[in-house]
Structure formats: structure tokens, C-alpha cells
Chains A and B, each alone.
Chain A
Amino acid sequence: MAEMASQTQRSVPLGAILTAGRYGAKGPDGPGVTLRLRHPLSIVTVMARKGRAEALAAALRDGFGLALPGPGQSTAAQDLALRWAGPEQWLAIAEGGRDGDLHQRLTAALADTASLVDQSQGRVAIVIAGPRARAVLAKGTAVDLHPSRFRPGQVAMTQMAHVGIHLAQSAPDVFELLVFRSFAESLFEFLIAMAAEYGYEVVSRE
């Protein structure tokens, strides 16, 4: 038998290109944006079973104290967030990414109201924050991100530089892009190219 598996041997997405430091234009006001990777992360697709959306909402409320967010919305409670991800579909997101943990937790509570699919390692979460974050994102997506139109807590499924993304504003000026893992490097390279004129800082994972 081979050696015991270890979570420490997992590859980190963007590992090859993500190096902490300050890049691009160096203005007096500091970098226009900061970029970081959220990893590891637990992500589970939650799909309401036919005719069971209300039961799912109730189970989430009772089990996690979470409301089921409507289109373009998200909810969060303690260590779990829910983001709308299409008709009758949501992404459940939690910090930490031990294989299958969140999936098992949700299965225990929701299995008869929802189909649950672990996506933790199929999506990469890139956080872009700072005063010029909107200007950078506007170079890739046609979604109106003006503070009056896209507020913290809102989410949007859209494209960024021809790559499908799930976009969320987690706090004022803090945007999180969930992207299919295979596109992550390409998307990250696009983002830093577009951020260079404002100056950007790549922050290592916490």
C-alpha cells in the first residue's frame, strides 16, 4: 500500500504564476487593486429537487440559519454562504477545503430536498479588491458594477474576457470571481494585464 494521502500534497491553482509582490504602475496612492486567491475553499452546487425548493429553503433555514437567496443575490451565516447560481441552483461556500467535508455536511441536512455536487476543486476563487477594482473588471464584463447597481451581497453570472465567471461583491470594493479551474490562469493573466495601469499587489494566501 502506498503512503497515506496528505492534504498538503494538493496542488494550488495558479501556483505557477501567483507570486506575491507589487506590480505595474507605482502611484503615490498605493496599488489600485489587490489580488489574492482563496484556497482551499469548499464549494458545493446545491440544486433543488423537482418541486422541493420550498422544502430546501426550510431545511437551510432550520439547519444553517440561512435564507435561500433569489436571482442575483447571496446570503451568509456564520461559516456558510449561499450564492445564487442559476435557476433553482446555488453555490454553498465555506472556508477550508478538506475533501468532501462540506458536501457531507450538506448531504446530511439536504439530501432529500436537493442534489448536491462537490465543486470545491473545480472552481478557483480570485479576489480583486481596491479603489480601481471596478475599472479593471469593466474591461472584461458588461455587467454594470456601479455601487448603486451592484451592491455588496449581490452576485452575477457573466463573462470576463470570454471566460464564464460567477461574480460576487463580498464587501464594498471587494469582488470575488469564481472561475472554472482550467480557465483560472488565463483569467488571472488577463486581470493583472488590465490592472497594470493602476498598479496592483498580489497578496499571498492567508
Chain B
Amino acid sequence: MTSRRLAQGGLIDRSRPIRFTFDHKSFAGLAGDTLASALLANGRMLMARSFKYHRPRGVVTAGASEPNALMEIGERGRRDANSRATMVELYDGLFAVSQNRWPSLAFDLGAVNGLAASIFVAGFYYKTFMWPKSFWEKVYEPLIRRAAGLGRASHEPDPDAYEKAYAHCDVLVIGSGPAGLMAALAAGRAGARVIFADEGSRLGGSLLAEREEIAGDSGFAFVAATLAELEALPNVTLMPRTTVFGWFDGNVFGALERVNKHVAVPPAHEPVERYWRIIAKQAVMATGAEERPLVFGGNDKPGVMQASAIRAYVNRYAVTPGARAVVFTNNSSGYRTARDVLAAGIDVAAIIDARDGGTETHAAGVPLIADAVVTRVVGRERITGVNVLKGGATTADRIEADFVAMSGGWNPVIHLSCHKGDKPVWDAERACFLPPSSTPGLIPVGAAAGALTLSQCLKDGSAAGARAAGLAGFKATSIAVPETRDDEPYSIRPLWHVRQSTAKAFVDFQNDVTLEDIPLAAREGFNSIELVKRFTTSGMGTDQGKLSNINASGILAEATGRTVPEIGTTTFRPFYTPVSFGALTGAFRATHYQPVRKTPLHEWCEEMGAVFMEAGLWLRSAWFPKPGEDWRAAATREVMAVRQSVGICDVSTLGKIDLQGSDATALLNRLYCNGFSTLQPGKARYGLMLREDGFLFDDGTVSHLASGHYFITTTTANAGRVMSHIEFCHQALWPELGVQYVSVTDQWAQIAVAGPNARRVLERVIAEDLADAAFPYLGAQAVTVAGGIPARLFRISFSGELAYELSVPADHGNHVARLLMSEGSGFGIVPYGVEALSIMRIEKGHVAGGELNGTTTPEDLGLGRMVSRNKDFIGRMMGEREALKAGNRDVLVGVKPVEPDHQLRAGAHLLTRGAVASLDNDQGYVTSVAWSPMLRQWIGLALLKRGRERHGEIVQVYDDLRNSRMLVEVTHPCFYDRENLKLHG
């Protein structure tokens, strides 16, 4: 293929050739190229097949809005689908593959869709594949998706690292063209902390793409000099390769930094992308403007490009798309392209101006055909010419050319300014939408604000930078604006489409939406632009309609006899351009997905061979298997050891709160439904907390350590919520109370010591008198462990055995647990886990999370006698509601399968024996189950309608999810040692 590289010019490094492959063929480009410019330099105009019709497509733009040249970049886990070749920097070994074609890009069988194009109009799928309904998911959709598709997501894990970070600044300047450069310089010189971000691989924006003269030198030189000054300012941070994609509340901006997308493999330890949240006092939106395509016959053929994109390829990359250009324009931009193309030594066949005649100076020797339109682009995969129809003429003339520059005017890139929901404003003179009239915190400037000449952009940028710095609290004045050549004034006459087109004309290239589709949508009744978008899919591609949306509005306006401002635009939402899932996830994946909490006894648990389970963020020891044991065998053995002798369990995850102050008792009385006024120092008491609506919130123990000094425990699951609740009650409801409280969850390693021999083991490590008389059930006191460790001992029991909880400062936890094991070895002491703990509490009918599930009251769980009648507390009033006292509620019972080997499952529903399974007949459900080593069978706790009157009744267990049904006997919820003889043992 012919090389299209120009002999001179450009910002590419001709001394650094770069090898890459496209569709498995090897090519060479130059450092500074994008993949698109390198392919063009190699004469590759065909880069993709279109989404629906599989039409051959080439590159249209030189930037972020590219709808056509989408490719898969990278291999295996690094493969990125739908990458815009215009934004992919060339690097050695780059591996690119075209998308949506089979078997090859040049010969795509899917192109038969194009032959049948007349039936594939908008709405075709919705209407055609409606029946039968079941076929949609199984047959139609997969088929359609295979034919019409984008790139393939990789199924392999991405080997690269992503991360998130925060940044703060006084002034964020978004976009580094002439306005952005001046704004950054003005704000930077004023001393403001400036972040200067641009999506491009190098800063300079449009100045890198245009032939300009600034301060007597080239635009390139001006960029270099300005950047050198900015780089030297310590208060300015330059962020190239960083797309600011969203504007959020509080002037927080989202940005994606492509840290290592320009290399095949990121250097060791470096992330590939970084997701920034930038908190800016002020922002300057200098995002430039996007050139609109024109909608005319064959405007999607490879070689039809934005006029401005052609300038970028010629000026920045020293590449020409072809040998002979034709320009089709309705504004000044086309003239500029003609001049630049000519200056590069490439022919320009003609300028076709849809206006009666512009005021622009056009290059000498180039015919100007005014009041004319292109009706058709001729040629198949390579353009050979265009048909031009002059005003009043009936037949078109053919002009030969092999590439077409088109310009339909400019759309300021206003996306960010609309992200908070404000509507853009139509400007009739420039035929474009401008940013919303008021955008506090964000100053739109330059082309983004409708300034379409260089001198204006430089001047406004300087003023905006100074204003932003001023608003951020700095003394700032505009800086001197360098001289430029006389600008051509911008003039345009809107041309939304060429109605005389004699071939398919495209509005949305990426989604193959044609000129006919939009009036069709309107005729079908979808006549608002939001509905047209959804009916035609215009603007719904990965490019989000950056090129198509305004043309679609214009065409809809004409089709429905309205004006463009009446039609408006679709809603602008983040993200401005696609952001990878990897970046959104950042480092918070796999083991870093969420923080892991480990108890101070974790090391000891590991030594004991614990199997850990996740409980919220905690890792808890679930059981301690011996060789050959499964979970049930291990838990059964642990339960038997505790019930017969002694075991120890890590209960450090319980929430622990230290409460002090003159009103500590008063606060407890208001927090818990039971009373604490009679709780003496040295004693502990079980407590129930309700929510204000009268339902149970949490349970735990309250120990009175010393006068006015309490130690509260909560369930592991509710520890955080209970702390917040206490803080709320004190700070928002009763700030007059003199109380001080703080979480001490992490300060204490807490070890349950349970079983008939618990006291005997503890006596070996604690000097204090633990005899029943000295330290009875519900005792709580400070003790000294192993002759020196300050500890607290509580005689409380979850297992129903003689049991204690021993708290030691966290660093001592592992040591004390080891000590207990060695001192208890003569008693056959075992470590036991959460599984055994749970079995034992179910055997005892103690409630836990399954029963404290937000739908139960103390009465429901048989704890009604705890509820005080003579004090105010959270939940008192609503707990008195009639319906909660009506006597027909689901209440706690035990259930035992009639066939002892039948396995109960939590969640199964209960029915009266013989009743049909229906919502009306529902009698409750099973909340907790265990295989009881003591009863040698499955047992469960359940909430059963009027259950307390039904002990002894046989009911049905119905579990259609797991296809299980059985009969169970309703029992008292306590299955073991109902007289609590062991507890006091």
C-alpha cells in the first residue's frame, strides 16, 4: 500500500519507528502517532465494519468522539474492546484487531444486511422479533447480538493493577488548547494550586492540530514555551492522558488517568489506570468544540472525515488520507482545511459551500462551488469522487477526489457543564448549544463557550484563569495575551441534512442510524428527542452520539416543524467517554475487595487449625477439625467436650462499649427495654434494645464495673449500628445527659471458657476467688491473669454451661489462650468455634440473628417479662401497639422432626398439618437449625403463629425451594437442661 506520510512536518519523531500489528499484519508507524494516524500513514483507510449493516468504515475524527475506528487492543486479559484508534497511542508491539466482521474486514459476510437495508429500519427488531415471546431471549437476541456487535470482552482476568486517588486544587483547568493554556498560566502565576488536565497524550489541544502563528512563532512553539513555564511552577500539576469525565456535587470531578495505556505492559508496581476524584474550588472548562459531520449520501464511506480531523492528521501527524481532497462545508472550517491540505502539497479539487457564498478567503487555485451540496459519495471501499448539485440545478456534477473533508459547524463540548442537570442554551448565530447560563464553580471558556477564533480563546482563557483564581481566594489579573494573525470570523448557515441525497445518508455512524430513521420515528409517534434516541438508537453507542446528537435534533426539528431549541438535546450524563470497570473498581478487588478484620486471637486460632468463616468483615474461627473430621464431626466433638468438660472460644468480635458518667445508668435505662437501676457494681445483666417502632434491635450484656462505669457488649453483627444508635440517642435526643462512651471492641481479646470444668481451669490462671459464693452467676469483676495481666472476668453463658468470658488486653490474647489450653489439658480442654457455639445456643433456645431479624418483639421471643412498665425507653410507645399484643403473632418455639434423621433447613415455612401451601395458610417459618449432639437429631427454632399454645402439635415443614417437606413436633424452644442446672453448677 502507498505510504501517506508527508515528507515533512508534524509532531511525530521520524527517528523512532514503531512496529505494531493490525489484524495480524505487521505495520510500522512513528513515535507520536496514534493507531489511527499510523494506519492512515500505511494507506489503511478501511478500519472497521459498521454495527448493523456491516458497511466498510474508516476513521472520521482524530479524537475522543470517534464512532467508527473501534478496535480490540491488546491480548488475553489485557484486551480492551471498542478502543478508539484515534486515542490509542502507538507503542512497540501494539496488537490491534478489527471488530464486528467475519471472516475478515475486507470481506465481511454480514454486509448482506446492507443489501436488505430497506427492511432493517429503526424499530425493525422491536416489531419483527416480538413473537413468540419465549424466542426473544433464547433465539432472536443471541442471533442479533452475534450479527450486530461491538468488540469482545476478555474472559481472562486482567493482570494489570488499577487504583483510585483523590486530588485537591484551587483551580482545575480541563482542556489544554489555547483557552486552557492561558487559563492555567493565569491561575498558576497567581499562585493558585492548579491541576491542568487533558485527555490527549500531550498537552496543547487544538494547537497541536492547527497551523497557527502566535507571538510571531508557530502554535507548537507557543505550546512548548507555555508548558515549560507551567512545569516550572511548583503549584501547577500537569495531567496529560487524563480525561475529566464528570462534574459532581460539591465541585468534585471524576477523571481517568491512563497511566500506562501507551505501553504494552505497565512497568512493575505501576498501575495501568488511575481513577481520580478531584475536589476543586473552581474549574475552568476549556474543552473545545467538536466538528459536526454533514448528513449526505454516502457520508459514511471510508475517506469522508471531519475537516478538522484532516487538519490534525496533516499538521500533527504529517499524514494525508489521500491524494486529492474535496471539501464540503457550511462554515469557515472547510476553507481552513483546504488551505492546510494545499500547504502540505496535496491537491484540493474544490470547496463545495452550502451557503450562498462565504466571506472566507479560499486558497488560490481551488474552485469554490457556492450554494451547492454533495448528494452522493462515489466509490466502494475507496472514494473516487462526489456528486455535486448546485442550487437550482437538476443534475449533479461529478468531482473526482479520494477523500472528503466535511464540516457542518461546531458543537461546543459542553457535556461537563450539563452533568448537574442544567439545560444547555441554543445560540442561533453560531447554530450550536452553549453551556447552561449559570454553572457556579465551573467557568466555560474558549470554544466550549462558543468562542470560535484563536484570539478570542487566548483572551477569554486568560480572563477565566484569573477569575477562577480570584474566586478561589487569590489576587489575580489577566495575563498578557500574545499576538495572533487576524482571525477569520466564524460564519455558518445550518445544514442538518442534504435532502437531495441519492444514497444512504448517516446521522449516527456507530449505530447505523440513517437520515430516514428519524422522520420515521416521528411518524411512529416518538417525536421527542429522548424517544427518538431510544427508538432509533441514535446516540446510544459507545461514543454517546458526540457527532450525531445535534444533527439528529436538527433533522427532527425539520421533520416536525419545530426549531432546534424546541427539540433540545438528550441528557448529558457522566461518563464523557468510557471508563473501564477496572478503574471503577480500583485496588478494591480480590483480597482488597473490602477490609478484613482479624481478632487478637487469630494467630492462636490458626495454630489450633481453625477453619475460618466470614462474619461481616470479621474472620471468625468456625470449627477446629482434627484429621478426617468434616465440619459436623468437628463441631459435634467440640460441643460434647464443652458439655462434658470444658472448651474455650474466641468471642472477641462482640461489640464492646465503655460507658461512664453521672447519667450512665439513666442512659442505659432509656436504651434498653429492661431496667438497670438495680444492677450493682460487680454484676452483669442481659439487656434488650428495641427500635423506636417497638421491634427488637439487639441484645447483649451490660456489666457494672464500678459505680457509674459500665461495659456493654453487643452482637457482632450490630456492633457498629449499636454504637451509632447510642451516639444518636445521646447527641440528638438527650444531649443533657452526662455520659461518656467509646468503643473498646479492639482493645480486648475476649475468650469464652465454658463447661463443667471451666472454673477449675480458670482457677489455675487467676488468683482471685472464683468459688460460686464469691463470684456467682452474672458476676463481673477485674482479675489478674497469670500473675500480671490486668483482665476482666464475666460469669455469663451462651452455651447454658457453667461459663465465663475472660477479657484480656489484645496483645495478651494469644498468650492467654495458649495458657488456658495448657492449663486445661488435664481436663481435655478443646477450642470450639462459632459452629459449636451456635449449636449450643440452639439447644438452649437462646435467640440470635435468625430470631432478632427485625420482625420480632420481646414478647414474640418469650422475653416479654423483661420489658419494663415504669420507665421511658426507646421503643416503649410503639411496642404497646394493639397488633403487637393481639396474641396471634408468630412466636418462638422449638421444632423437632418426627423422623429424627430428617434434616431441617432454616427458612422453611410451617403449615398446619394437612393444609395446602398458600400464603393464607402460612403459619410461620424456621429461623435456626442444628444437628444436636445432645439430642442426636436435628432441631430447630421457629416462629410459629400462637406457637406457645401449640407445644406438642405436629406441623408440616414446607420448603419448595429445596424440595423438602416433613413433619415436625412443636416444642418448648429450650431443648436441653431447661432447669438451668448446669449454668449454676
Chain B residue total in the interface (Cβ 8 A): 63
CA distance A115 to B279 in the complex (A): 38
B812 in the interface (beta carbon within 8 A):
yes
Q: Mark B794-814, 1 if CB is under 8 A from A, else 0.
A: 000000000000000111111
- A45 adjacent to chain B (CB < 8 Å): yes
- B747 to A, closest residue via Cβ: A122
Residue contact B597 to A49, C-beta cutoff 8 Å: no
Whether the Cβ atoms of B738 and A50 lie closer than 8 Å is yes
Contact across chains for B746 and A161 when beta carbons are under 8 A apart: no
A11, A47, A97, A118: the one contacting B603 at CB < 8 Å is A11
Q: Which residue of A lies closest to B193 (CB)?
A: A146
Question: Is A11 a contact of B588 with CB atoms below 8 Å?
Answer: no
> A2–B596 contact, CB under 8 A?
no
B809 touches A194 (CB 8 A): no
User: With A11-B603, A51-B738, A142-B279 known to touch, is A121 a contact of B765 (CB < 8 Å)?
Assistant: no
Size bracket of the A interface: 35 or more
Give residues of chain A (1-56) contacting chain B, Cβ–Cβ below 8 Å. Answer: 1-6, 9-13, 15-16, 24-25, 40, 45, 47-51
Chain B interface: which of A62-70, A125-133, A167-175, A185-193?
A: A185-193
Contact A1 B767, CB 8 Å, known A117-B744, A183-B595? yes
Chain B, Cβ-Cβ closest to A87: B731
Q: How far is the CA of A170 from the CA of B267 in the complex (A)?
A: 33
CB pair B596 A9 closer than 8 Å? no
B662 x A50 contact (CB < 8 A)? yes
Nearest CB on A from B814, distance (A): 5
Chain B residues with CB below 8 A from A88, complex form: 740
A181 within 8 A of B: yes
Do A12 and B811 touch (CB < 8 A)? yes
A50 to B663: give the CA distance in the assembly, Å. 10
Q: B788–A5 contact, CB under 8 A? A: yes
- Asked if B224 is an interface residue, CB under 8 A from chain A, the answer is no
Q: Are B746 and A47 in contact (CB under 8 A)?
A: no
Identify B587's interface contact among A1, A4, A118, A194, CB under 8 A: A194
Assess whether A139 is interfacial by the CB under 8 Å rule.
yes
What B residues does A187 contact at CB under 8 A?
595
A99 near B618 with CB under 8 A, answer no
Bound: A2/B166 CA distance, A? 53
B506 interface residue (CB < 8 Å to A): no
Chain B 260-278 residues near chain A, CB threshold 8 A:
267-271, 277
| Inter-subunit contact A2/B744 (CB<8 Å) | no
Q: A3-B787, A5-B786 are in contact. Are A122 and B745 (CB under 8 A)?
A: yes
Residue of A nearest to B268 (CB): A25
CB of B810 within 8 A of CB of A121, answer yes
| CB-defined contacts of B924 to chain A, threshold 8 Å | none
A202 to chain B, nearest CB (A): 15
In the assembly, what is the distance between CA of A206 and CA of B271, in Å? 33
B592 at the interface (CB under 8 A from A): yes
Q: From residue 800 to 836 of chain B, which have CB atoms closer than 8 A to chain A?
A: 809-815, 819, 823
| B809 A3 Cβ-Cβ under 8 A | no
Q: Which of B165, B271, B277, B819 has the most CB of A within 10 A?
A: B165
Complex alpha-carbon distance, A186 and B595, angstroms = 6
Complex Cα distance A87/B821, Å?
43
> Would you call A105 an interface residue if the criterion is a C-beta within 8 Å of the partner chain's C-beta atoms?
no
Within the complex, the shortest CB–CB distance from B681 to chain A, in Å, comes to 16
Given the known A-B contacts A49-B740, A186-B595, A189-B592, are A5 and B748 also in contact in the complex, defined by CB atoms under 8 Å?
A: no
Nearest opposing residue in chain B for A48, CB measure: B740
Name the distance in Å between A57's Cβ and chain B's nearest Cβ.
Answer: 16
Given the interface contacts A5-B788, A122-B810, does A182 sit within 8 Å of B599 by beta carbon?
yes
The CA-CA distance from A189 to B594 in the complex, in Å, is 12
Give B587's nearest chain A residue, CB to CB.
A193
Which A residues between 94 and 115 are near B, CB-CB below 8 angstroms?
Answer: 97, 99-100, 114-115
CB of A196 within 8 Å of the partner chain: yes
A49:B738 contact, CB within 8 angstroms: yes
Q: How far is the CB of A164 from chain B (nearest CB, A)?
A: 10
Least Cβ distance of B893 to chain A in Å?
A: 37
User: Chain A's interface: helix, strand, loop or mixed, by majority?
Assistant: loop
A83 CB–B CB distance under 8 Å: no
Residue B600 at the chain A interface, CB threshold 8 Å? yes
Neighbouring B residues of A181 by C-beta, 8 Å: 600, 746-747, 810
A63–B738 Cα distance when bound, in Å, is 24
Are B746 and A163 in touch, CB under 8 angstroms? no
In the complex, whether B544 has a CB less than 8 A from a CB of chain A is no
Q: How far is the CA of A47 from the CA of B814 in the complex (A)?
A: 30
Partner of A10, one of B163, B166, B815: B815
Q: How far in angstroms is the closest Cβ of chain B from A45?
A: 5
Judge whether B738 and A138 touch: CB under 8 Å: no
Provide the residues of chain A in CB contact with B215, threshold 8 Å: none
For the complex, what is the distance from the CA of A122 to the CA of B749, rounded to whole Å? 9
Contacts of A185 in B (CB 8 A): 596, 598
Do A1 and B603 touch across chains, with their CB atoms under 8 A apart?
Answer: no
Chain B positions 378-431 with a Cβ under 8 Å from a chain A Cβ:
none
Residues of B within 8 A of A139 (CB): 163-166, 587
A119 CB within 8 Å of chain B? yes
Which among A2, A49, A100, A162 is the interface contact of B662 at CB below 8 angstroms? A49
Cβ of A123 within 8 Å of any chain B Cβ, yes or no, is yes
A193 and B740 contacting across the interface, CB-CB below 8 Å = no
Most A C-beta atoms less than 10 A away, residue of B166, B270, B823: B166
Contacts known (A2-B765, A47-B740, A122-B744); A10 close to B787, Cβ less than 8 A: no
With a cutoff of 8 Å between Cβ atoms, the chain A residues found around residue B744 in the complex are: 117, 119, 122
B788 partner, pick from A6, A13, A142, A193, beta carbons under 8 A: A6
Which residue of chain B has the shortest Cβ distance to A103 in the bound complex?
Answer: B790
Q: Which of A40, A138, A182 contacts B811 (CB 8 A)?
A: A40
The answer to whether B596 touches A186 (Cβ under 8 A) is: yes
| Distance between Cα atoms of A5 and B603 in the complex (Å) | 19
- Residue of B737, B738, B742 with highest tally of chain A CB at under 10 A: B742
Interface residues of B in 726-780 (CB under 8 A from A): 737-742, 744-748, 764-765, 767
Bound CA–CA A163/B163 (angstroms) = 16
Are A9 and B815 touching (Cβ within 8 A)?
yes
Cβ distance A86 to chain B, nearest Cβ, rounded Å = 9
Say yes or no: is A75 at the interface (Cβ < 8 Å to chain B): no
Establish whether residues A162 and B166, one from each chain, have CB atoms under 8 Å apart when the complex forms.
Answer: no
In the complex, A73 has a CB within 8 A of chain B: no
Among B661, B765, B786, find the residue whose CB has the most chain A CB atoms closer than 10 A.
B786
With A122-B744, A181-B746 in contact, do A2 and B786 touch (Cβ < 8 Å)? yes
* Measured CA separation A120–B764 after assembly (Å): 27
CB nearest neighbor in A for B788: A5
Contact of A100 among B661, B790, B814 (CB under 8 A): B790
Q: Chain B residues in contact with chain A, CB under 8 A? A: 161, 163-168, 193, 267-271, 277, 279, 587-588, 591-592, 594-600, 603, 618, 658, 660-663, 737-742, 744-748, 764-765, 767, 784-790, 809-815, 819, 823
Could you give 28 example pairs across A and B, Cβ below 8 Å? A1-B767, A2-B764, A3-B787, A4-B786, A5-B788, A6-B788, A9-B815, A11-B813, A11-B814, A13-B811, A47-B742, A50-B661, A50-B663, A50-B738, A50-B739, A97-B811, A99-B789, A99-B809, A118-B747, A119-B744, A120-B809, A122-B745, A141-B166, A161-B588, A182-B746, A185-B596, A190-B587, A196-B269
Interface residue ranges, A against B (CB under 8 Å) = 1-6, 9-13, 15-16, 24-25, 40, 45, 47-51, 88-89, 97, 99-100, 114-115, 117-123, 135, 138-139, 141-142, 144, 146, 149, 161-163, 180-183, 185-187, 189-190, 193-194, 196-197, 199
Q: A5-B788, A49-B662 are in contact. List 10 more A-B contacts (CB 8 A).
A: A11-B603, A45-B742, A50-B663, A119-B744, A139-B587, A182-B598, A182-B599, A182-B745, A190-B587, A190-B592
